[in-house]
A and B are shown apart, each in its own frame.
Chain A
């Protein structure tokens, strides 16, 4: 919702919300759980941090209901860094979102990594001044979220696994969806919108632009500089790294390496150089071993 700022400027417009996402492009957004980790991320060159109580790998291991972070955790991280601070709310939990906006976080991630609060509805993101990022596994899901007011999309991947295979699947699925919309005749767009369960006007926008109408990052399973460069070469505008950094043996070195790999994603010599001497990556999980119930990507409607 757009409001008048004290000086006659308009806050919370689509352009202002989507604009911050545009400024994050080509960057790495890192999950952090305390001020010290936030400083490590900033010093490594992260373009933003995601304030959390537990990284996805721990949420997966410990189980239980995962909720919005304690406001104290968010505030301590905000005080530690000058880069944007994001935080997650549960799917459909619009009061958690209101609280995060009151805390003045820079971006809210309505995230499947937390336990959903509503099994049918997402937050009406148009009502907020703070921009939202939402997960998606295909073009229809991405456009439903944009229709609800998301200013940025991230492919879901499978968080907390250190396994990039789902991130790749979701990025390819969105790219294929865009290609299909672009090549369809105008009269075919109605049926496509219906089949994808996506708003028609956004399907038409994709046909015109040849891309999503908002910035699209990759997330969920990125653990190495090569993983990050892979997602960039597949068309991501940037990457989220969750457990991949602070669950590895040498977080500062790995964080720096992934930042450099994203900037120089098309230069294998740089990716090779920054991949040296990083010690162990986080331990990975086989997706098939998680079972249907273990998949976070299925959350979201």
Chain B
């Protein structure tokens, strides 16, 4: 294997349902080797994982039935596999949802999210969002029936807010966004995530999956 291939981190994309193909393209663009994850076996040998947007109930139910949900919990919670979750991906990584819907979650991140918080599809929107993690220029963020973070624990850093609500956050191994960085050509979010995954794998950088850069803002 060439040195270039060796330095390409292997990042899985949960391919149960949703916009997984878009994430795979974005990951390849920033120098990762994407791999679709449909079964627990597919988690072997990964350096990082993306949980895409889609319908969070579908993701949880379908992954739960095949035993994949437990394997995802083991990988991200017990083994600390770095993970990027967007929209539905953020919901399933949360420890709870605000309305207490009975839906299976991976959990592990100390946030409570409100599903469809901005409203139904008529209220879906795009906007320029300040996300210091990605750099000084605002990021075009696409919010689709999007959730927001209602409460965040002390170990969670809020990275961006919109209309007073937390919409991006991280902890030691998780990076979550209420919007869809995979739907635009701007690759900064994927770049930050993959850089973190590479640093962690090679032991050359901080243990954190995402390097510093965001202002520390506490959600409510």
**Chain A interface residues toward B at CB < 8 A:** 5, 7-13, 15-16, 19-20, 22-27, 42-48, 82-84, 101, 104-107, 129-131, 256, 259-260, 263-264, 267
Q: Is the CB of B122 within 8 A of A11?
A: yes
Q: Is the CB of B121 within 8 A of A25?
A: no
Q: Is the CB of B124 within 8 A of A82?
A: no
Known A9-B143, A43-B61, A82-B57; judge A23-B18 contact (CB<8 A): yes
Those of B20-44 within 8 Å (CB) of chain A: 20-22, 38
Q: Is the CB of B124 within 8 A of A20?
A: yes
Report the minimum CB–CB distance from A19 to chain B (whole Å): 5
Q: Is the CB of A9 within 8 A of B122?
A: no
Q: Chain B 114-133 against A: per-residue CB contact (8 Å), 1 yes, 0 no?
A: 01100111111111000000
Q: For residue B184, which residue of chain A has the nearest CB?
A: A15
**Chain B residues within an 8 Å CB radius of A44:** 61
Kindly state the separation between the CA atoms of A260 and B119 in the bound complex, as whole angstroms: 29
Q: Is the CB of A259 within 8 A of B58?
A: yes
Q: Is the CB of B125 within 8 A of A15?
A: no
Q: Is the CB of A27 within 8 A of B54?
A: yes
10 contacts between A and B (CB under 8 A): A11-B122, A13-B125, A15-B184, A16-B125, A23-B88, A24-B18, A45-B65, A47-B54, A47-B58, A84-B121
B84 within 8 A of A: no
Q: Is the CB of A20 within 8 A of B144?
A: yes
Give the residue of B38, B115, B116, B162 whose beta carbon is less than 8 angstroms from that of A264.
B38
Q: Chain B 128-151 against A: per-residue CB contact (8 Å), 1 yes, 0 no?
A: 000000000000001111000000
Given A82-B101, A104-B122, output 19 extra A-B contacts at Cβ < 8 Å: A5-B123, A8-B127, A9-B126, A11-B123, A20-B124, A22-B18, A22-B183, A23-B88, A25-B21, A26-B54, A27-B58, A43-B61, A82-B57, A83-B55, A104-B120, A105-B120, A260-B66, A263-B16, A264-B38
For chain B, which range describes its interface: under 10, 10 to 19, 20 to 34, or 35 or more residues? Answer: 35 or more
Known A11-B123, A47-B55; judge A27-B17 contact (CB<8 A): yes
B62 within 8 A of A: yes
**Chain B interface residues toward A at CB < 8 A:** 15-22, 38, 53-55, 57-58, 61-62, 65-66, 87-88, 101, 115-116, 119-127, 142-145, 162-163, 180, 183-184
Q: Is the CB of A19 within 8 A of B144?
A: yes
**Chain A residues within an 8 Å CB radius of B126:** 9-10, 13, 15-16
For A7, A23, A82, A107, the residue with the greatest tally of chain B CB atoms inside 10 Å of its CB is A23
Report the minimum CB–CB distance from A178 to chain B (whole Å): 17
Q: Is the CB of A16 within 8 A of B144?
A: yes
**Chain A residues within an 8 Å CB radius of B17:** 25-27, 45, 47, 263
**Chain B residues within an 8 Å CB radius of A129:** 122
Report the minimum CB–CB distance from A118 to chain B (whole Å): 24
**Chain B residues within an 8 Å CB radius of A105:** 120-121
Report the minimum CB–CB distance from B195 to chain A (whole Å): 26
Kindly state the separation between the CA atoms of A55 and B55 in the bound complex, as whole angstroms: 24
For A27, A45, A84, the residue with the greatest tally of chain B CB atoms inside 10 Å of its CB is A45
Known A82-B57, A129-B122; judge A259-B127 contact (CB<8 A): no
Known A9-B143, A16-B144; judge A106-B58 contact (CB<8 A): no
Q: Is the CB of B122 within 8 A of A23?
A: no
**Chain B residues within an 8 Å CB radius of A259:** 58, 61-62
**Chain B residues within an 8 Å CB radius of A20:** 121, 124, 144-145
Q: Is the CB of B125 within 8 A of A11?
A: yes
Q: Is the CB of A23 within 8 A of B123?
A: no
Q: Is the CB of A45 within 8 A of B125?
A: no
Q: What 8 pairs across the A-B complex have the smallest Cβ distances?
A: A9-B125, A9-B127, A106-B121, A7-B163, A26-B17, A45-B61, A47-B55, A11-B125
Q: Is the CB of B55 within 8 A of A23?
A: yes
Give the residue of B20, B65, B101, B124 whose beta carbon is less than 8 angstroms from that of A16.
B124
Kindly state the separation between the CA atoms of A211 and B212 in the bound complex, as whole angstroms: 39
**Chain A residues within an 8 Å CB radius of B53:** 22-23
Report the minimum CB–CB distance from A16 to chain B (whole Å): 5
Report the minimum CB–CB distance from B160 to chain A (whole Å): 13
Q: For residue B60, which residue of chain A has the nearest CB?
A: A45
Report the minimum CB–CB distance from A71 to chain B (whole Å): 15
Kindly state the separation between the CA atoms of A279 and B15 in the bound complex, as whole angstroms: 29
**Chain B residues within an 8 Å CB radius of A10:** 125-127
Kindly state the separation between the CA atoms of A48 and B18 in the bound complex, as whole angstroms: 12
Q: For residue A6, which residue of chain B has the nearest CB?
A: B163
Report the minimum CB–CB distance from B206 to chain A (whole Å): 33
